[in-house]
Every structure is written in structure tokens, then in C-alpha cells.
Chains A and B, each alone.
Chain A
Amino acid sequence: GENVEQHPSTLSVQEGDSAVIKCTYSDSASNYFPWYKQELGKRPQLIIDIRSNVGEKKDQRIAVTLNKTAKHFSLHITETQPEDSAVYFCAASIGNQAGTALIFGKGTTLSVSS
């Protein structure tokens, strides 16, 4: 079945450094790729998403890149802050609609130390 691999599983950075999380997916039909941030004890919250007709998207300190040929996409966080510490999940759509079911990666625990 469809699969999403996410790396690394843990990531520790110093405040102000950049952080990069990478994901690969298996379903060629996937065309919607959201990223969620989950703080301890809270619900996952969408931080950014990208659709397959776009190669890159930015929102302030966060950016996502997508390479459909290689079937991988990445999350980039610049100028990290302690409040960026959380678990981050990538996901890929099952099929080609934005509202459809998602397959999630296993998550990356990001720790930002001041």
C-alpha cells in the first residue's frame, strides 16, 4: 500500500539554526502534501501545505519544497526558536484530491535549545 517515509526521527538544533525534515512517498497519484506540528498534549495543527503543481511554498520562516519526479518533499524552518520545539508530521494524499485521506510519516521530534 501507500507509504510515507520521514527522516530524521529526532533533530536537535541551536536557536537560530535551520532545521530540515525530509519525506518520501510511494503513491504517484498523490498531489497534496501537508505538514502538521503537534505540541505536547495538543492536537496536530497544519503549518503549511503544498500541491503538486507547485515546487516550493514559503510562509515566513517555514518553507516546503516538492520534487514530484523523485517523490520527495521537505520542510525547512529557518531561524529556529524554542517554541518551534514539537513533533512534525508530513503526509501525502491518497489519490489526487486535497480533502482526501492522508498517509502520515512517523514524525520528527524537533528540539530547539536556547
Chain B
Amino acid sequence: DVKVTQSSRYLVKRTGEKVFLECVQDMDHENMFWYRQDPGLGLRLIYFSYDVKMKEKGDIPEGYSVSREKKERFSLILESASTNQTSMYLCASSRQGPQHFGDGTRLSIL
């Protein structure tokens, strides 16, 4: 069974901090994705990666960056956290089939 693990379930940070959200998958999937989920807005794609050291912008990349140094790990970075980045963040991975999601990180920026 595919396992996508996000490092924190809940996280509280302050405005201006640099925040790292980590995601690890154990199925050797090439593709990894970061979404944010807000009530009434569904899942919005932030960044994705089809290979190590490769990244592509999604719909809402502003204020975020990513890192993929190893195939199994995809990190989302908030360069200078702001209150409008308070949200649920979901990581997913896939190969040729459907995406498998982690449990999410509920991030609060105070």
C-alpha cells in the first residue's frame, strides 16, 4: 500500500518565518505534488515535480518554493510566512496512475 507521510499534522509559525513542510513517499513514485486546501476553494496546485531536481509551478506558486533532492522527498518552503498562507497543505505522489495523498499539515501563521 502506498504511504505518503507528511512530517507534521499541525504546525504554528509566526509571520516572516521561513517554514519547511516535508513529504516522503515510499513507493518510488516519479511524480510528487503540493496542494493547499481551503474551504470552498477545493485543492489548488502549488508546485509539482516529475523527477529529482525538477519542479514546475502550479496555479498558486507565489510565496512558495520547493526542493526535490531525492526521489522520495518533496519539500515545500514558505520563504517568509504570511497570515494568508494559513491553510491545510496536502502532499501527493503518483506514477502512471492516480495520486495518493498524505494526511495533510494544518499550518497556522500568527
Known: A43-B90, A43-B104, A44-B90. A98 touches B43 (CB 8 A): no
* A106→B94 contact, CB < 8 A: no
Total contacts A to B, CB within 8 angstroms?
A: 59
In the bound complex, how far is the Cα of B58 from the Cα of A104, in angstroms?
A: 12
Enumerate chain A interface residues (CB-CB to B < 8 A): 1, 6, 9, 34, 42-46, 49, 89, 91, 97-107
B48, chain A: closest CB distance, angstroms = 5
* A107→B101 contact, CB < 8 A: no
Q: Which of A1, A89, A100, A106 contacts B59 (CB 8 A)?
A: A1
For the complex, is B26 an interface residue (Cβ under 8 Å from A)? no
Q: Which of A1, A49, A89 contacts B42 (CB 8 A)?
A: A89
Task: Give the most central of A1, A34, A44: most B CB within 10 Å.
Answer: A44
B52, chain A: closest CB distance, angstroms = 16
Interface CB pairs A-B, < 8 A, 28: A1-B59, A6-B42, A9-B40, A43-B90, A43-B102, A43-B103, A43-B104, A44-B90, A44-B101, A45-B101, A46-B100, A89-B43, A91-B43, A97-B96, A99-B31, A99-B94, A99-B96, A101-B48, A102-B33, A102-B45, A102-B99, A103-B59, A104-B35, A104-B44, A106-B40, A106-B42, A107-B40, A107-B42
In the bound complex, how far is the Cα of B90 from the Cα of A22, in angstroms?
A: 24
Enumerate chain B interface residues (CB-CB to A < 8 A): 30-31, 33, 35, 40-45, 48, 50, 56, 58-59, 90, 94-104
Task: Give the most central of B44, B48, B56, B101: most A CB within 10 Å.
Answer: B101
A104: chain B residues within 8 A (beta carbon):
35, 42-45
Known: A104-B42, A106-B42. A98 touches B104 (CB 8 A): no
